[in-house]
A and B are shown apart, each in its own frame.
Chain A
Amino acid sequence: MPHFLMAQAVEKNTLVLGVKYYNDNNAAQHLVISAKSKIDGKFQKIGNIAVKVFITNDSNKNNFIGAGITSERGEFILFIPPSAKTEWVKSPTQNFIAISAANKLYEEARAETTITKAKIKIDTADGKIVNAKLFIKVDTSWQPMAGVEMVLAVKRLDGNLNISETATYTSDSAGAISGEFKRDSLPGDQKGNLILVANIIDNDVYGNVAAEIMVPWGKPLVYTTNYNHRSLFARRGHSPIWLELLAYGIILLVWAVIIYLGFQIRNIIKLGLD
């Protein structure tokens, strides 16, 4: 084998794929497929990797549920399609497999994750109490699940803020957790609505599960703008009154002098003609 071909073969890196399961608000579930590789001693996100995703197993081509190419951030989202329903309803647990073929830079890679189907119900009670219950699928019914760490939070831009100082709650035998909302005066929407969220984050068994509810516990957002205010930085016609008085006063004064002198020229002309 020529030397340069051998060198190419040696340079191939190992690609590590990841599959994460998400169930947001008990609606359409999705997977996040990620790709990373160790370069210069550090794991780096790898883009432009084509990945095929299967449900249950990859031996049956009917289990193929979609494919995607990782973005610059090294991941892509795949919603579980309705065509996967047959496999989905077969079992309370579910297996997902992601496979990328070998290319010039990376060897073939494969990742697999198994989740137990779970859902959260969220509710509120008087005194700004937030209640949530975790149910998991056992055979064909939903059963409460104890001992699972959950988070109660309020949705903010680009992240969730815990509803109190308590970081996590563990579900009791009824699968329930309860926390008091202590984020007073938190700005909400124009009606003061906030979105509360109860979720399980990156759980080995259940993946990422979340449920949301809207509550009017926030401070109504009053939209304020200084667009119409008079200031030195405002738009045209909105300069401060003092500036307008000063500027127009000076302009009028100086131009009054110029006009007066214009009249003096007229007077000189009249005197000459007389």
Chain B
Amino acid sequence: MDKLKEDKIIADLLPQEFGKQGRIWVICLLFFAALGVFAYGRQLYYGLEVTAMRDYASWGIYISNFVFFVAISLVGSLITAVLRLTNVKWSTPLTRIAEIIAVSAITFASLIIIVDMGRPERFYNLFLHGRLQSPIIWDVIVITTYFFISLLLLYFPLLPDLKIMIGFKERNGKWLQKLYEFLGSFWKNTKAQFKITDKAINILAIAIIPVAFSIHTVTSWLFATTYRPGWDSTNFGAYFISGAFLVGAGGVVVAMYIFRTHYKLEKYITNDHFDRMGKVLVLLALLYLYFNFNEFLVPAFKMKKSEEEHLLGLFTGEFAPIFWFAIFTSMFIPIFILLFKKGRRPLPAFIAGILVVVGSWFKRFLIVTPTLLHPFLPMHDVPANYHHYIPTWEEWAIAGGSLAGALLVITFFARIFPIIPIHETIIETESLENEKHF
């Protein structure tokens, strides 16, 4: 490939400084993150009393948020591992977006668990006195493992790009240059180095799939191993994984659109990418819809007394507006939009992605909280507010702050590192040209 084309790719894909929009975006995120920190400070000072969580609804939007973060983090394994191992080449520009979403989501999944604890300073007891039989311990182990694997999967493909970026000393500035040199000054583009990284990436791509499946299966078992209406299901692992793939893919489509329009990456994240991701989204939404039918239709058909109140609460009762909103926005409407070719163009696909992500967040809330408000034994002699769960402003602020925090990680990553792999793009463009030539 000629040098001019290579330089053009590098110039296009190098990280760019925040423009006016970028600065506003960062300020907004910082504001929400700071508000979350302030609310958490109040929670630390006054205790969990500042939340609306009580004896029955002891898991609220923090745990919903946790399940959401864990779900969206699964996209790293989908885009990077599943598509890589199945030799799907078109996904190359999306791998880093998927991986940074995975890393930031899994980081905040860990943090939100600590936020949910009444006495966070006792967190270390989970490690010192944890029971191996408890799904909570499995979750702690598997989240930590997934975090490191995702980090490695982010780092290895970044090495050749770091070498490229180190070459732009003046453009980088002092601190970024130091960071790039610290992370990748040893990379010399040698064959031996490439051989090691290729092997490492392949190992990671294989290793991340069972770990990613474990993380979400174990998260589903936090619920399914508890005998409660709505959670007592053998289907939960698969149900959670299918939902996680859906929200993860939706998140990637949203990120693709934002990076494409903001950084003018139309040549790299093409309409074809949206078309293909749109099809993937339809497939995943249909799959998740299938599991939803299983999850709700079977117990609704039997309508056991203990499940009845919970199911009717979802279908026609207190939670019905959120339930149908979540079902339609996360599945039916995106499927309808993306089934048509025109719907798989960037903007409609972006809207479908947003719907998937928003609907999926509420879906997680519906998995967690309504069950807790419908215990097997009737609620007796409890204050009236124990029968309902309406999150307080502190909970919303903390949950919102954690989402802002995850977005900040992605935003700053895109400011510091190329969000589309430069080296891989050059190699792929080169091989495409060679194919055309021959």
Contacts and interface: CB of A to CB of B under 8 A. Distances in A.
B101 to A, nearest CB: 21
A239 B186 contact: no
List of 6 A-B pairs having minimum Cβ-Cβ separation, nearest first: A272-B186, A239-B132, A269-B186, A236-B131, A239-B133, A272-B188
Among B196, B197, B204, the most chain A Cβ lie within 10 Å of the Cβ of B196
Interface in B174-190: 185-188, 190
A14 to B, nearest CB: 34
Given A254-B207, A271-B193, 19 more contacts: A233-B133, A239-B133, A251-B145, A254-B149, A255-B145, A257-B203, A257-B207, A261-B156, A261-B203, A261-B204, A264-B199, A268-B159, A268-B197, A271-B188, A271-B192, A272-B185, A272-B187, A272-B188, A272-B193
Interface string A260-274: 110011011101110
A236 to B, nearest CB: 5
Contacts of A254: 145, 149, 207, 211
Interface in A211-257: 232-236, 239-240, 243-244, 247, 251, 254-255, 257
Given A239-B133, A261-B200, A261-B204, A268 B193 contact: yes
Nearest to B187: A272
Interface of A: 232-236, 239-240, 243-244, 247, 251, 254-255, 257-258, 260-261, 264-265, 267-269, 271-273
Contacts, number: 62
A271 B190 contact: yes
Contacts of A268: 159, 186-187, 193, 196-197
A234 B132 CA distance: 10
Contact of A232 (B133, B155, B211): B133
Interface in B120-146: 129-133, 138, 141, 145
A121 to B, nearest CB: 50
B140 to A, nearest CB: 11
B187 to A, nearest CB: 6
B149 A258 contact: yes
B193 A251 contact: no
A236 B130 contact: yes
A261 B154 CA distance: 13
A134 B130 CA distance: 63
Contact of B132 (A247, A258, A267, A272): A247
A186 B133 CA distance: 37
Nearest to B146: A254
A152 B261 CA distance: 93
A239 B132 CA distance: 6
Contacts of A272: 185-188, 190, 193
A235 B131 contact: yes
Contact of A239 (B131, B152, B159, B187): B131
B133 A243 contact: yes
11 contacts: A235-B131, A247-B132, A247-B138, A254-B207, A258-B149, A261-B152, A261-B203, A268-B159, A271-B193, A271-B196, A272-B187
